[in-house]
Chain A
Amino acid sequence: MMSERKRLHPIAILFQLFNWLKSSLFLLIILFISVDSFYFVLGLIGYLLFLVVSAVMSWSRFFYLVDEDGLRIEYGVIKRTKRSISKNRIQSIDLTESIVHRLFKLVRVQIETATTGLQAEAQLSAVRLDEGYALRKQLKQVRATESVEGEEEEIANDPQRVATNRELFLFGVTSGGVGIILGSLGVLFSEFAEYIPDTIYDTTWEWFVASSIIVIVSLVAALLILIWIISVGFTFIRYGKFTIKKQENELLITRGLLEKKQLTIPLGRIQAVGIEENIFRQPFGYVSVFAEIAGGSADDQSSASAVLFPIMKKQEVSSFLDTYVPGMSWEEEVSWISAPRAARKYYLFRSIILPVLALAVLWYFYPSFMWIGLLILPIAIFFGWLRYKDTAFSIQENMLLLRYRVFKRMTVQVPHRRIQAFEEKQHVIQRKDKVATLSLSIISQLGGKSFTLKELRTEDIEQLNEWYSTRNNRGKRSSFRKR
C-alpha cells in the first residue's frame, strides 16, 4: 500500500508549461504582430520566467496519496485544494503514454467518476509506468476480495481481440481521410495565400497551361495517392495495436502506436451500442462498432462516443457484441419501419437548400463558376435520398434500434431503460402529411444526447410511444388533480 503522499515525476513541470504556452499561443501571436519586437521579446522573457516559476511551484505543491478509501490529491499554490475520490465512486482509470511519456517510462493517469464533462476528475500527468499500473490495481474496487492467484488465472481466459494490420489497413483506406486532409490543406492554403508572391502563381499557371493533360492528370492522381497513404499512416499511428479485452465487468481498450492509450469502460455504464458505416465501407459490408457511455471524459473531441472496434464485417457484429457487451444482443436481420414516401420531399429539401442558396450567391458574383453546381447538386440530392432511405427504427422486445444518416449511416441500439425521454415534434406542414419528428434522449459522455429521426409516420411513432410508455404497467391515471 502506498501510504505516504507523493509528488508527480518532475517532467510534469514541462507538461504544465507546455499546456499554458499552448493556451496563450494565440495571444502571443497577436502581441508578436502588434507590439514592437524589442518590448515583445522583453515581455516574452518575463512571461516565460513567470510561467516556469509557477509551473515549478504548482508541481512542488501537488501531492497524491492512495489509501484504503481511495485517492487523495492536494494542489494549489495560493489556494490549497484537497480532493478525495472514494474507490467506490471511481468509474474508470485511463492510462495514456505519449511519446514523451514513453521516453521516460512514464504514464498519465486519468481517474473518472460518474460526472459528465470534458475534464477528468483527477489527473496525474506523469507518474512512473509501474506505479501507474500499481495505482490502477489498488484503486480498482474488488467487490468480493478474492485471492490474487484466482484473478490472474481469470485474466488468461478473458476474451480479447486485436485489430490485425490488414483490418487497420482496410480501416485507413476507407476512412475518407483524404477528404479531411484535402480540406485542411485548402484551409491552410487560403490562410497563407496572400503571403505567396504573385510570380509563383504566374509561373505555375504558365506551366499548367503548357503541360499536357496526361501530365496534369497523373500529377493530381499522384498527389491524391500520396495524401491517401499519409491518411492510412495516421490511422496506423492512432489505432495501431487496437486491442479490446473484457475483464469481469469492464472493457479494456488499448490503442495507438506513438501515443498509447488505455481506456476502461465499465459495462454498466454503456447506454447504447451501434455501428457506423461510411459511404466507402458500406458497399463492402464493413462497419465500425461504437458505444455511448455515461460519464467519463471524452476520448477525443471529434466524437463523444467510444470506438469499441474500428472495423469488422457486418456479420461479425452480433457475435462480437455477445462476447464483449453481453445483454446487448444484436440481431442481424430485423424488420425496419422506415420513413414514409411523404417524407421524401422534406429530406430532399433539407439537403439541397444550402447548396442552392450558396449557388445563388455564386451565380450572382461569379457566374463563370456555375459548373461547380453541376458537381455539388447531384451529391446533395444523392445524400438527401440516402438519408430518406436510411431513416428507420425497429422494436426488439426491450431494445430499440434506430437507423439514420448524416454522412455516415449509424445504426444504434438502445435498451428501453436507457432512454431518458421521448419527444415527438410536429410542425404545421408535417401535420398535413401525417408525419412527425421523433427524438430520444440518452446519457452520453458529454451529458445528454438525443437521437432524432425526422418525418416518421405518426402512427408508427404512436406505436413506439406505446412501447416506451410505462403508464399502463401498474397504474391508472394518477390521483393528482388540479383544484
Chain B
Amino acid sequence: MRQPPEHKIDIRALKVWKISAVIYHAIFFCIIALLAFFTYKFDWPLWILITGVLLWILSTCLSIFIIPKYRYLRWRYEIFEQEIYIQHGVLILTRTVIPMIRVQHVETEQGPIMKHYSVASVSISTAATTHQIPALSEEDASNLRDRISQLARVDEDDV
C-alpha cells in the first residue's frame, strides 16, 4: 500500500469532537428522560425505556471516550504540488486522492466550538465530490485554503 499521508490534523480536534458529542448526548438524554416520563405516566412497556438507556450508555461511551481518539489517530492529510491525499476512517479505512486540477473550490468553516478552540475545517470540492478535513488550526486552515486555490488555478480545463 502507498504510504499514508504525512500530516496529522490538529490535536484540538479531539476536544471539539468530544464536546459536540457531549452536547448531542445531552439532547439524547432529554429524549430518554421524556421516554421515562411517558413510561411512568402512560404505562408504556418497560423494554422501550431499557433499550433507550442502554443505547444511550453505549453511544456515550463510544462517541465520547473511544471513537474520537482512534479517529484522530487515523486522520491524515498531505498536500502535494499536483494532488491532495487524505486518509480517514476508524473501522473502514478510506484513502482519497484528488488531483489539484480537479478542485473547483475550497472553503474553510468554523462553528462556535471550533471558534473557541481556534480550529477550522477545510472543505475541498471537485465537480463531483466534496472532501472535508475536519480540524486544522485557524492559520493552517487558511494557509491551506489559499494554497490549494492557488495550485488549483493552474489549469483551466473544460470541466
Contacts and interface: CB of A to CB of B under 8 A. Distances in A.
17 contacts: A114-B159, A423-B95, A424-B94, A424-B95, A427-B91, A427-B92, A443-B128, A448-B129, A462-B2, A469-B82, A470-B100, A471-B83, A471-B85, A474-B82, A477-B6, A482-B7, A482-B140
Given A420-B129, A480-B144, A475 B92 contact: no
Interface string A274-303: 000000000000000000001000000000
A145 B144 CA distance: 45
Chain B's interface: helix, strand, loop or mixed, by majority?
Answer: mixed
B46 interface: no
Interface of B: 1-2, 6-7, 78-83, 85, 89, 91-102, 126-129, 131, 139-140, 143-144, 147, 157-159
Given A425-B93, A462-B1, A443 B83 contact: no
Give the interface size bracket for A toward B. 35 or more
B10 to A, nearest CB: 9
A80 interface: no
A336 B157 CA distance: 30
Contacts of A420: 98, 102, 126-129
A428 interface: yes
A118 B126 CA distance: 20
Contacts of A160: none
Contacts of B96: 421-424
Question: Taking each of A114, A268, A420, which has the highest tally of chain B beta carbons within 10 Å of its own beta carbon?
Answer: A420
A422 B129 CA distance: 10
A173 B140 CA distance: 61
B81 A421 contact: no
B93 A426 contact: yes
A328 to B, nearest CB: 15
Contact of B99 (A443, A470, A475): A470
Question: Taking each of A114, A294, A421, A443, which has the highest tally of chain B beta carbons within 10 Å of its own beta carbon?
Answer: A421
B129 A441 contact: yes
Nearest to B99: A470
A428 B89 CA distance: 11
In the A-B complex, the 7 residue pairs with the smallest Cβ-Cβ separation, listed nearest first, are A475-B81, A448-B128, A470-B82, A420-B128, A422-B97, A420-B126, A441-B128
B130 to A, nearest CB: 9
